[in-house]
């Protein structure tokens, strides 16, 4: 059965520091992979997605993610975090039967 694991429930980073949010998945084939962000009181917004091709994908707001088939991972990265990046981040995998991870809450220290 397909599943998504986000090992970190809560991460705190200082503004300007780099960020990496982890996502591991279990899926029968190469899945479609997504990262969404949910800011307080807001709906979910797509940051980036991977369907095929180049395994390093660029998204909005300076985020990127790398698909590593051998590790079944799709980690989200940003070189320099801004205070406005504080939010809940969800990794999702699948096809029509999408599965979301439990989310990672990002706190940004001034």
Partner 1 sequence: GAGVSQSPSNKVTEKGKDVELRCDPISGHTALYWYRQSLGQGLEFLIYFQGNSAPDKSGLPSDRFSAERTGGSVSTLTIQRTQQEDSAVYLCASSFRRSETQYFGPGTRLLVL
- Compute how many other C-beta atoms are within 10 angstroms of the C-beta atom of residue 83: 11
Distances (CA, A) of 21 to 9, 12, 59, 96, 106: 10, 11, 14, 24, 9
Q: Can residue 90 be called a binding residue for partner 1 (CB under 8 A)? A: yes
* Cβ-based nearer residue to partner 1, 15 or 64: 64
x/- letters, 44..83, toward partner 1 (CB under 8 A): xxx--x-x--------------------------------
Residue with tokens 């039967």: 97
Which residues are at the interface with partner 1 (CB under 8 A)? Answer: 6, 32, 34, 36, 42-46, 49, 51, 90, 92, 95-103
């Amino acid at each position: 059965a397909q599943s998504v694991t986000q090992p970190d429930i809560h991460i705190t980073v200082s503004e300007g520091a780099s960020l990496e949010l982890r996502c591991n998945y279990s899926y029968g084939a190469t899945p479609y992979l997504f990262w969404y962000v949910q800011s307080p009181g807001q709906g979910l917004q797509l940051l980036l997605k991977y369907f095929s091709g180049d395994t390093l994908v660029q998204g909005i707001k300076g985020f990127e993610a790398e698909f590593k088939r051998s590790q079944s991972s799709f980690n989200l990265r940003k070189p320099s975090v801004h205070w406005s990046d504080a939010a809940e981040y969800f990794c999702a995998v699948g096809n029509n039967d999408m599965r979301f991870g439990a989310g990672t809450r990002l706190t940004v220290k001034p």
